[in-house]
Amino acid sequence: MTRPPALRRPATVAALVLVLVAGLASPLLAGRAAADGPAAPAPSGAGAGPWSDEVLDLAARLPVQDGGRVKPLDTFATYTLLGIAHKRSAKDAAGEKLTPTAWLLDVVFRPSVAETHPCFLVENDEVLDAVGLAHEGKKKRDLYSYAALRPAAAKLRELALVYMKKDAKGLTPVQHGVVDLYRGTTTFERLSHLVDFGRAELDVSASPALKAVFDGKERVRVADVLARAPSLSRVLPRGDPHGGGAGPVASDPGVASLLARLRELAEASNAVAMIPPPGPVSEQETWFTPGEALQAVTEGITLPPEIQALMLGLAGMGGSVGDRAAFVAHLRDVAATAERMTRTRGEYEKIPLEVSLNRLDPFHRGAGLYILAFLLVAAGWLVRNRWVRGAAWTVLLAALVLQVAGIWMRCILRERPPISTLYETVLFISALGVAACAVAELFDRRGIALTLAPVLGALGLMLANSYESLKGEDTMPQLVAVLDTNYWLTLHVTCIAIGYTGGLVAAALAHVTVLGRTFGLRAGDEAFYRSAGKMTYGMLAFGLLFSVVGTILGGIWANDSWGRFWGWDPKENGALMICLAQLAILHGRLGGYLKTFGIAMATIAQGTIVAFSWWHVNHLGIGLHAYGFTQGVITTLTIFYVVEALVLAAGFSYLFRRGSGASASTTS
């Protein structure tokens, strides 16, 4: 065989790989440059065109409290966008790509521009038929702008409210689509009104008292109201500020009108809590929304100076979108004040790390690297070049390092062991699967495990990324009370996940034997199949050790938490089923009932049990580990079961053919 000339030169191969790896990492480097470099002149102002790098960087680091934790605005933007577009980026009307933060800035500060961004994913155009919206010229699954959806808003709301009262499990995909679209548009609307108070002009001409407060001005902005809050409180009506309803009623019609308008604006500005309380966390943990701060003003409460400064900054940003310099100046003030306040409370330390994690985006980039590693492995089959193999190893390990770095950063951010959610099990299991294959390859250098490693890594990360997109929720949520124990999360959950890894990697290795034998690949190379068989057995034994211990540890945890060791909960049953399947296979081997091919077939079946236990039981809607019903997950699992059934059927056909061949040769 003649190798391509370029591949004969190791340096060329290495350079090619480095370029590709660097290419995949370049957005990270670009992100850091933007973060650390001087504030370069923005290509355009805040009023039109893209946001400057400085604006994006300052905004990305703004702390907000959402989902029970303090996080950067960038994370909030990412998951809000994922919830609507099911993607980590959007495009504007002209097709220019927007980062989540840029998209959110448009929604909050330039809603009329954001309305034209096609960011609402409609999975099935029957959803649009249901709400009576024309969609000619669009694909069945397509993105729509808020402006395009607006004509159907009333019907969408009407249908969604009906469906939301029903059990989600009983809804059709179209009904799910209607509910999702309604939730998305509601979120968009709430965010687009977040700084209405900064844009609004208030008429105070009807009240001489108010005019006096505002130096004779007849039209003022909320920034003026905030700036003159102490003087204003003297003309506001006295009463019980917590009396409920619309609060105390003013006798001066002009004051009453102003108060009504301010309360209306306050009501509209509650989309996200971005104002930290001035005291320590122990005194008050829950942050305020801008609307709550504004509501306090209407009740005659004097805002603490830091909150006053933040509100003035936000109002200023809302009111100066057309003036780039003023917008950036206000944003700098807001960012500095918010950082100072959050730091004082000890809640800022992890914000930069989370922004870095978002920029690193290790799990999307890792998936790309795993695919590249697989392509290099595949190239290695063709050219049999040690440098190509070395490049495959390099890229594979780079992907693994990136993935482990991502997991590690998440551990620091959450102050938790690697696994506390279903999403995190995928990250951990795929990383461990890749590592296990890499170790196996070191012992048995036939390329079997090296081939499987990038496949497992890519599939795992694509699964994690798809699940993240599908759910459109923060993947670092707060945990329910019973899970608030790092001791048991570390011991039981990690152990079980290692057990899953063993079972799944064994099943993946078993495919080599079953498909190879069935389709006659490497026929006659018995050493190859012996190796595959040994690795399958080794991984199965590895999985059994951790599955058994992890399952019992789960019972011990349950005993400590609920007072019973075993409750036949679906997740417990799933873990038990894995142990039983693995024990049956190993006993079948010891008893001589299963040879290499039989073990491989049984191990593949065992892999489906692992998948059932890992994912399916959580979506049955029963037991203590029910995570709700997610249509995409069940569809994916069904496809997996069908594929594995086909592989097993192919295996049985091989057994049948081999049996027929043997009997034919015996007869002859």
Partner 1 sequence: MSDGPLPAAPATSAAGTLSLVARRVVAALGSYALAITLLLVLLVLTFFGTLEQAHMSLLDVQVKYFESWFVIHDIGFLSIPLPGATPVLTLLAVNLVVGGVVRMRKRYETAGILVAHLGILLLLAGSYVEWLLSDKGQMTLMEGQSSDEFASYHDWEIVVRERKDGGAATEFVLPARRLMDLEPEDTARFASARLPFDVVVSRWHRNVEPSRAGGADAVDGWRFDPRKPEKEAERNLPGALVGLAGKGGGSVRARTLLWGAHGLPWVHEEDGRRFEVELRKVRWTLPFRVTLDRFVKEDHPGIGMARRFSSYVTRTEDGVDAASHITMNAPLRHHGYTLYQSGWGPEGAAPGTPLFSTFSVVRNPSDQVPKYACYVIALGLFVHFVVFKFVRYIARESRRRAAAGSAA
Footprint (CB under 8 A) of partner 1, residues 26-65:
65
Amino acid letter at 10? P
Min dist. Cβ of residue 363 to partner 1 (A): 25
Question: For 129-181, what is the HEC assignment?
Answer: HHCCCCCCCCCCCEEEEHHHHHHHHHHHHHHHHHHHCCCHHHCCHHHHHHHHH
Of the candidate spans 74-82, 194-202, 620-628, 635-643, the one that interacts with partner 1 by CB under 8 A turns out to be 620-628
Among 46, 119, 273, 293, interactor with partner 1 by CB under 8 A: 273
SS3 category, 118: strand
Min dist. Cβ of residue 410 to partner 1 (A): 18
Strand pairing class (97-98; 90-91): antiparallel
SS3 category, 97: strand
Min dist. Cβ of residue 557 to partner 1 (A): 8
Min dist. Cβ of residue 273 to partner 1 (A): 6
- Six token digits for residue 379: 């190239």
Min dist. Cβ of residue 631 to partner 1 (A): 17
Min dist. Cβ of residue 593 to partner 1 (A): 7
Determine if 244 is a binding residue for partner 1 (CB under 8 A). Answer: no
Strand pairing class (63-66; 118-122): unpaired
Determine if 243 is a binding residue for partner 1 (CB under 8 A). Answer: no
Among 6, 568, 665, 668, interactor with partner 1 by CB under 8 A: 568
In terms of Cβ atoms closer than 10 Å to its own Cβ (0-12, 13-18, 19+), residue 92 is buried
| CA–CA distance, 580 with 221 (Å, rounded to integer) | 70
CA distances from 662 to 106, 172, 491, 656, 668 (A): 72, 52, 50, 10, 10
Binding mask 421-450 vs partner 1 (x if CB under 8 A, - otherwise)?
----------------------xx------
CA distances from 487 to 28, 439, 492, 494, 560 (A): 34, 28, 8, 11, 12
Which secondary structure element, helix H or strand E, spans residue 90, and what is its range?
Answer: strand 90-91
Angle, CA of 328, 333 and 337, to the nearest 5°: 145
Min dist. Cβ of residue 484 to partner 1 (A): 7
Footprint (CB under 8 A) of partner 1, residues 577-606:
577, 580-581, 583-584, 587-588, 590-593
Judged by CB under 8 A, how many residues of this single chain contact partner 1?
63
Q: Which one, of 398, 351, 345, 389, lies nearest residue 370 by Cα?
A: 398
For partner 1, which is the closer residue by CB, 278 or 623? 623
For partner 1, which is the closer residue by CB, 99 or 613? 613
Among 63, 570, 607, 651, interactor with partner 1 by CB under 8 A: 570
Of the candidate spans 179-187, 241-249, 384-392, 613-621, the one that interacts with partner 1 by CB under 8 A turns out to be 613-621
CA distances from 300 to 96, 230, 544, 549 (A): 46, 8, 66, 62
For partner 1, which is the closer residue by CB, 32 or 587? 587
Among 47, 248, 417, 567, interactor with partner 1 by CB under 8 A: 567
In terms of Cβ atoms closer than 10 Å to its own Cβ (0-12, 13-18, 19+), residue 106 is buried
For partner 1, which is the closer residue by CB, 219 or 587? 587
Of the candidate spans 3-11, 227-235, 285-293, 507-515, the one that interacts with partner 1 by CB under 8 A turns out to be 285-293
| CA–CA distance, 389 with 385 (Å, rounded to integer) | 6
Determine if 485 is a binding residue for partner 1 (CB under 8 A). Answer: yes
Min dist. Cβ of residue 492 to partner 1 (A): 10
| CA–CA distance, 623 with 279 (Å, rounded to integer) | 41
Residues contributing to the site for partner 1 (CB under 8 A):
65-69, 273, 285-287, 443-444, 478, 480-482, 484-485, 488, 534, 538, 541-542, 544-545, 548-549, 552-553, 555-557, 559-570, 573-574, 576-577, 580-581, 583-584, 587-588, 590-593, 609, 617, 620-623
